[in-house]
Amino acid sequence: MKNLRHQSIFQLFILFLASHQPAEAATHPGPIEDPDLAYFLTDTIHCTLLNKTKLTAKYHAHGDYLINGLSIGRLKEMWCRNPFREIPENGNFEYSEMDLTQHFTYELLEKRLLNLVNSPHVRLVEMGLSTQGRSIYMLVLGHGDIVIAKEGGTHSRETFNTFVLVKQVEDYVNSLDTNAIRRRNLEEVTVLIAVCTNPDGLEDMLRHPRHVANKTNMNGVDINRNFFASISGGLAHGVKKCATIVNKPGNFYAGKHLGSEIETIVASKFVYYAIIERQAVIFESNHQAGNIIYAGKPYQTAEGFDRSHCFGELQKDFLNSNLEGTASNEQFFMVNEDANYGFDGRVGTITDFACDLASGFRFCAEQGRMVYADDSCEMPLLEAKSMEHYHLPHQTKCAIITMEYGVGEAAWGHSERARRKHPDMYQNYGLDKLLDFQMNYAGCLSPKLNQRLVLDLENKHKEDMTATIPLKIYCPR
């Protein structure tokens, strides 16, 4: 979308010519551009309608904010500090199967990413640097217009999901020589994966494998409570304050103010790039607590809630269907947020922010968080109470879910005991086939891919592959 806005008529003409070349011509068409702050702010409020004093008074009529917002100056400075940087190829791709029981360092993980980038189907982008200067990466699998986004590694003790996100891509790429359907799907689909949004926290956990108490970054901030979402810190009059709100560094600590951490800003750029610039149809945040799927926010529109909830149900059924015949009976369950979610003073997660962007909420410079805003009105969620009548749908096809893998603390961290549990978690839920399931779902939103999948499945006896899971035609309402 943004690309088109940048292009001259001449460039469009060249693109038109290029579009008539054979599909095999280019594996890496064009640069991956940094999510443009100018567009983020154009879509956002340049100057608010009310000054801060009046806004604060207006908001106070509906409740209180328990945390200060992010100043627009700081947002601009941090957003621009580390532009996206594509990592070039460095040699030949080598087949290598990740052993989830291996004792890792972040550097060893990076080596695997640097091997993956040598595949013609994978690109690697450094999205920014962490507090301690580690690269925060986005893996890009595939070349298509249908986009799936996945994110993990926010909570340091939840080590499973970062390794699994990388392993899923490795297993996929390793199978391409013998799997024609997967090769073809990569022409239609692109998967964007922020493999670890808190690399310092992960490295700390890898160095202290049994120290599983911590889920923060190196400033003691819980990145997944630091987003400048519409719900962030809003406590409505008459609603009981959420019990997990803390005001000093440690788990659940939201920081000195919203968006205070570089990891949060880099992740925000990823969300904006995936949901707005690439129009992702799935946004999946990966965690590790309780075999639970959260999908749909109580304050969303019914349509937005249903879209996420239906996809969550389908993904739950896919994961649980793989348990049959295994020794495990640890099923996934859907869990609904309680009705006060968004109004009980707790602070925004990455999926809250994703939901705001998809709903057309904008960054309010005066309040430093997302609000509903059109040309004549700006309104915090605290006042609107629900997005039902106050959304300007920016993105009407994205299902947004949070995955919580694993039951019990024994699988947290990076101890030998924890690592021994991880291969079973990967196998039992069929995680090597999760991308196939997600591409099938995404393909249902695109008749072109859908048609190809149906044709492929009809002809699959001719193919040299084990098929993807049976295609369920599913179109969100």
Residues in contact with Zn ion by the rule CB under 5 A: 155, 158, 287
Nearer to Zn ion, 166 or 281 (CB): 166
- Copy the structure tokens of residue 253: 């600590």
* Least Cβ distance, residue 252 to Zn ion (angstroms): 11
Position 416: which residue type?
A: E
Query: Taking the complex as a whole, how short is the minimal distance between the CB of residue 255 and Zn ion, in angstroms?
Result: 16
CB of 120 to Zn ion, least distance (A): 34
Tokens 């390794």 locate to 163
To the nearest whole angstrom, how small is the minimum distance from the Cβ of residue 209 to Zn ion? 18
CA distance 264 to 59: 25
CA atoms within 13 A on the CB side of 41: 15
Smallest distance, Zn ion to C-beta of residue 158, A:
5
3-state secondary structure of 275: helix
Q: Which is nearer to Zn ion, 116 or 354 (CB)?
A: 354
Work out the angle between the directed axes of helices 434-444 and 302-321 (0-180°, nearest 10).
140
Q: Which is nearer to Zn ion, 182 or 287 (CB)?
A: 287
User: Among the residues of 277-380, which ranges form H helices?
Assistant: 302-321, 350-358
Beta bridge mates, 234 = 65
CA distances from 331 to 118, 292, 295, 312, 417 (A): 37, 9, 16, 14, 21
Q: Which helix (H) or strand (E) holds 81?
A: helix 72-81
Q: What CA–CA distance (Å, rounded) separates 215 from 198? A: 9
For residue 78, the surrounding DSSP H or E stretch is: helix 72-81
Which residue, 267 or 444, is less far from Zn ion as judged by CB?
267
Nearer to Zn ion, 123 or 155 (CB): 155
Q: Tell me the closest approach of the beta carbon of residue 339 to Zn ion, in angstroms.
A: 22
Q: For the sheet containing 146-151, what is the strand order?
A: 85-87, 122-129, 135-142, 189-194, 146-151, 282-287, 399-404, 292-295, 333-334
Residue 363 CB, nearest approach to Zn ion (Å): 25
Q: Return d(Cα 182, Cα 44) in angstroms, integer.
A: 38
Q: What is the rounded CA–CA span in Å between residue 199 and residue 106?
A: 7
Neighbours of 391 (CB within 10 A): 21
The smaller minimum CB distance to Zn ion, of residues 135 and 285, is found at 285
Nearer to Zn ion, 155 or 362 (CB): 155
Residue 72 CB, nearest approach to Zn ion (Å): 29
Q: Which is closer to Zn ion, CB of 121 or CB of 225? A: 225
The least CB distance from residue 234 to Zn ion, in Å, is: 22
Which residue is at the shortest CB distance from Zn ion?
A: 287
Between 158 and 277, CB nearer to Zn ion: 158
